[in-house]
Amino acid sequence: MASLAKCPIDSGRDDRKTAVAYEQGVSFKPGSEVVRDADGVKSVLRNASLVQDALDAAAMKQLQPDEIPLIFLDGKMHRERRKHITDFFSPRSIKEKFAPLMEKTADILVGELEQTKKLRIDEASWQMAVTLVGELIGVTRGKSRAQMKQTAKRIERFLYRTHMSDLKGWRLAIARGRAALYVMDFLIRDVRPTVKARRKAPQDDVISRLVAENYTEKAILIDAMTLCGAGMQTTREFISLVAWHLLDNDDLRRQFMEGDYDAQMAILEEILRLEPIVSTLYRRAPDDLPEKVANPLAVAGHSYAVSLRHANIDPAAVGECPFALDPARKERQQDQGAFLSFGNGMHRCPGSPLALNETLALMNRLLKVKGLKLASKPQVHWVPHLATFEIRDVLVTCD
């Protein structure tokens, strides 16, 4: 495939759409050492003596062991629990279990565009992400389109409660109360009925597995909420980002349309390298780290802010012209196309095949629409406490 990037001739080229919002909004946890180079980032993320230090990590340690979500577990317990979900993302499972649903959902969403002649991609991407991760968890199975929309609304309400980190005083107290109600609503209307149904007739989903292992309702709720955050919020932004890049660049769009599966994947991964949805991860060495497991990186109490965004533009890892969107980079560098955007080491994202394939399915259906064009200037908002961005107003129209 021809490279879009004209490096080194065009060495000043910068194709990022979220860089300004990031630069203006980024902040790192006070006291953390910021690691920016790709080798350093990999070393920290692969170091078995370092533990999660992300948002809520300290609060999570107060929970019963089986109530702690996968992402906050470490060591043996983490390995055991991770085994529960990895097979859902095997190539076979993606092809047989999820691909038909991806295509059906893409057809419904793009069908709405064809009827009404306009569609907000940032809303369609939410419907897509909720449908697929909801299928994995079990909470959206067998629901009608209207019921699906209701579930999507309930999940959106409790997930985006994190916006209350901007609030203080009585506003924060009210927001907290409201957030608790939203979580209850999700429990009562989505999780509890699914648990009840799976007790009678298990299916091939996360809730069935947790029920079979006698997890408490609270543990199941926490697991479901974590998967919603990890899998839905991220994929929503990724789909919007990809649509924006493809609709804004005729050459890239043509390459995507003419490309085979591998070529299309390389484009998606290169977009994700350039603009990682999660910019920073956190790790720390426990205060009571036993001396026998301490090592140069793991010094008791030391904490790291691991910048995936910087590592992904480290020329030593990704080659020349790191700010240019170059679909040939993956092949040239002989590395994973998304580089570190899905993390690395023991917590590396297990859901990456689901996210990439559902984005591919939606784009393949969307870009075939006659007269499709971007009809607004998308807005990027930085969300500091999650080290992520939100893209809104991705309005498309068609003939």
Nearer to ligand HEM among residue 85 and residue 197 (C-beta): 85
List, in sequence order, every beta strand (DSSP E) within the chain: 33-35, 51-52, 118-120, 280-284, 303-307, 373-374, 379-383, 388-392, 395-397
Query: N- to C-terminal Cα distance for the chain?
Result: 31
Contacts 24+ apart (CB under 8 A), 374-378: 374/244, 374/247, 374/248, 375/118, 378/17, 378/122, 378/240, 378/244
Stretch that binds ligand HEM, among 138-146, 258-266, 316-324, 349-357 (CB under 6 A): 349-357
Q: If binding is defined by CB under 6 A, does position 227 make contact with ligand HEM?
A: yes
CB neighbour burial string for 41-69, b if at least 16 within 10 angstroms, e if fewer: bbbbbebebbbbbbbebeebeeeeebbbb
Among 106, 278, 317, 380, binds ligand HEM (CB under 6 A): 278
Q: Which of residues 125-144 bind ligand HEM (CB under 6 A)?
A: 133, 136
Among 270, 341, 363, 369, binds ligand HEM (CB under 6 A): 341
The structure tokens 């426990």 sit at 286
Question: Count of residues binding ligand HEM (CB under 6 A)?
Answer: 25
Q: If binding is defined by CB under 6 A, does position 277 make contact with ligand HEM?
A: yes
Binding string, residues 69-98; x marks residues near ligand HEM by CB under 6 A: -xx----------x----------------
Query: What separation in angstroms does the CA of 17 have from each of 62, 206, 229, 259?
Result: 39, 35, 23, 23
Residue with the shortest CB distance to ligand HEM: 351
Among 29, 350, 385, 395, binds ligand HEM (CB under 6 A): 350
Nearer to ligand HEM among residue 78 and residue 198 (C-beta): 78
CA distance 55 to 271: 26
Q: Which of residues 20-59 bind ligand HEM (CB under 6 A)?
A: 52, 54
Nearer to ligand HEM among residue 71 and residue 155 (C-beta): 71
In sequence order, the β-bridge partners of residue 383 are 388
The structure tokens 């630069």 sit at 23
Give the binding site for ligand HEM (CB under 6 A): 52, 54, 70-71, 82, 133, 136, 227, 230-231, 234-235, 238, 277-278, 281, 341-343, 347, 349-351, 354-355
